[in-house]
Structure 1
């Protein structure tokens, strides 16, 4: 059991710096902006050309070290690692990201050299959730160019000890999507076995995922069109994480234990959606593979969850090499 004494020790980390005068690994640059926009399907002209700015949502990207890590001055103080060590020693070995907030003060432009400071802003009192008992930890990162504050990034995680089940272990439930006022219509459509795509009523541009405004013209008014369900695998990854019961249980909605494929599916309408590719072994998934939408129900015993997945079309397993 996590003790109140631990909570007091954790609270002592509030206000401590996690990074001081960290330096971004790369300056803001056009190739990274282009790759980001291509991956997101964002065609806003503000992000291309001689007067390009970086998409505001890239704010954290300029502070990250990538797969090879930072080669320059990262500014890490060790406080965050110490905090995690205390939680791990107390049995809070699991972690889940809960939410992220960003504030943008001015656009970043190619050539800007980014620096950042990070602080452990708050540690909550001990909380008991369905996942288990632990603490919410919030960090704030201030991003600067020279002396100018250009944006703030807040990231909150729950570090917790997994709940122990008494008696017969219940079936593990799949994680639920975060439904908010911007995407509620999408999930309502999924419940009715309809995949709805937002359409800007000003310029007609389709967009996914759902957003409060058009990323082409900035218009705020929209309606929806229903996807035909036809698509192809635009890209994919194979997940090899340690087994999680909700994804490996043998039932009608589970495809296989072990690794599985998550695809970026390009729909016939031109937008892309991330979902599971099912119907073939994970090592048979290929870019260009034709797929078709279907809806599957999960967790029927404890509040059904309907999700869109993409079934490989019969006889097309060979895909495109």
Structure 2
């Protein structure tokens, strides 16, 4: 055996020194500054009441059911006549406090919102809701409710800004019996600063989808005429344009030119999201034409925050770019040419 073939001698080294015991995992310090500490302050409210012993301001009633169904276009016979029930999705409507609010709102919920305000989360937007129905509500039912703060999310960053999602769960009862559960989620956030778009070509409005069912409407717009369909059989006017009558199913129709006057039946003010060629905030209205049909369009000539239900308006055709004109409605007492 040569020297190279012999195993190398092993020289004992110093004994290994024991390392420090790892011990239990480190626990977060509740007093430590930063977003995690703030979130821990917020989660202390989870499980606390958001509203206690709330009472609906009105019993379930036929008038509100009728208004709801008309607004939603829901003609289900279950919601009218003897033995009618309320549409299940009205569950939250019977608990709303209106502009004057509810005395049932808890101090804990107010304190939670106050903490978020102090942290700069001064804006709020509703994000989603979930409902569970256990028994139908009928005219004459008196609703009571309790709500609890169910969860507060860690800090989240969205296009609107950075903040926290707050979820409340409301249990709705009639005569002590649980009728349904409503979960409502809001985002309390600090708004993101609006970015100034770099100079460049002006953005174009999205093009309307024109097909064989609405071609006649857009042909009329090019001629500065607002055309409404009229069924050739039952003579019912309809808008928007449809391939057949939704009253008698007749496929034949004629057109009637709108006189151009109307009133604001309802409206929303669009704040988000920003979209190329649009400059929020602006008002989008459901206009009831003198002929009785309704259409959605913009109201111009007045600031967005001065649009009101019942406001008289008149038809105009607004050229938004070289090859697109749109029907819009100007407040009847606004100066022609103003684009507010």
TM-score range, shorter chain: 0.5 to 0.7
Is residue 263 from structure 1 mapped to residue 277 from structure 2 by the alignment?
no
Which residue of structure 2 lines up, in the alignment, with residue 170 of structure 1? 196
Which residue of structure 2 lines up, in the alignment, with residue 128 of structure 1? 157
Residue 245 of structure 1, CA deviation: 9.8
For the 8 Å contact 2:297–2:328, the answer to whether it is kept is no
For the 8 Å contact 1:123–1:138, the answer to whether it is kept is yes
Structure ranking higher on relative contact order (CA contacts 8 Å, 6+ apart): 1
Instruction: Provide the rounded CA distance (Å) in 1 between the counterparts of 2:277 and 2:268.
Output: 21
Which residue of structure 1 lines up, in the alignment, with residue 37 of structure 2? 5
Residue 246 of structure 1, CA deviation: 8.0
Instruction: Report 1:1-321 matches (<5 A).
Output: 3-70=35-102, 74-164=103-193, 169-171=195-197, 193-194=208-209, 232-236=262-266, 253-254=278-279, 261-266=283-288, 272=294, 274-278=296-300, 280-281=301-302, 289=313, 291=315, 310-312=327-329, 317=332
RMSD: 4.5
For the 8 Å contact 1:113–1:145, the answer to whether it is kept is yes
Q: Which is higher, the Rg of structure 1 or of structure 2?
A: 2
Instruction: Provide the rounded CA distance (Å) in 2 between the counterparts of 1:84 and 1:309.
Output: 42
- DSSP 3-state at the match of 1:75: coil
Which residue of structure 2 lines up, in the alignment, with residue 219 of structure 1? none
Change in CA separation of 1:52 and 1:158 when aligned onto 2, cut-off 3 Å: same
Residue 138 of structure 1, CA deviation: 0.7
- DSSP 3-state at the match of 2:190: strand
Unaligned stretches of 5+ residues in structure 1 = 173-189, 198-205, 209-215, 217-226, 298-307
Residue 133 of structure 1, CA deviation: 1.8
For the 8 Å contact 1:37–1:43, the answer to whether it is kept is yes
Q: TM-score, normalised by structure 2?
A: 0.59
Change in CA separation of 1:21 and 1:233 when aligned onto 2, cut-off 3 Å: same
Residue 42 of structure 1, CA deviation: 2.5
Instruction: Provide the rounded CA distance (Å) in 2 between the counterparts of 1:284 and 1:143.
Output: 35
Unaligned stretches of 5+ residues in structure 2 = 1-32, 199-204, 214-237, 241-246, 248-254, 335-340
Residue 137 of structure 1, CA deviation: 0.7
Change in CA separation of 1:4 and 1:284 when aligned onto 2, cut-off 3 Å: closer
For the 8 Å contact 2:283–2:307, the answer to whether it is kept is no
Instruction: Provide the rounded CA distance (Å) in 2 between the counterparts of 1:309 and 1:123.
Output: 44
For the 8 Å contact 1:92–1:160, the answer to whether it is kept is yes
Residue 36 of structure 1, CA deviation: 2.0
For the 8 Å contact 1:277–1:309, the answer to whether it is kept is no
- DSSP 3-state at the match of 1:194: coil
For the 8 Å contact 2:171–2:181, the answer to whether it is kept is yes
Instruction: Provide the rounded CA distance (Å) in 2 between the counterparts of 1:140 and 1:295.
Output: 48
Instruction: Provide the rounded CA distance (Å) in 1 between the counterparts of 2:146 and 2:290.
Output: 44
Instruction: Provide the rounded CA distance (Å) in 2 between the counterparts of 1:45 and 1:293.
Output: 40
Q: Which moved more, 1:91-100 or 1:37-46?
A: 37-46
Residue 136 of structure 1, CA deviation: 0.8
Which residue of structure 1 lines up, in the alignment, with residue 11 of structure 2? none
Residue 253 of structure 1, CA deviation: 4.7
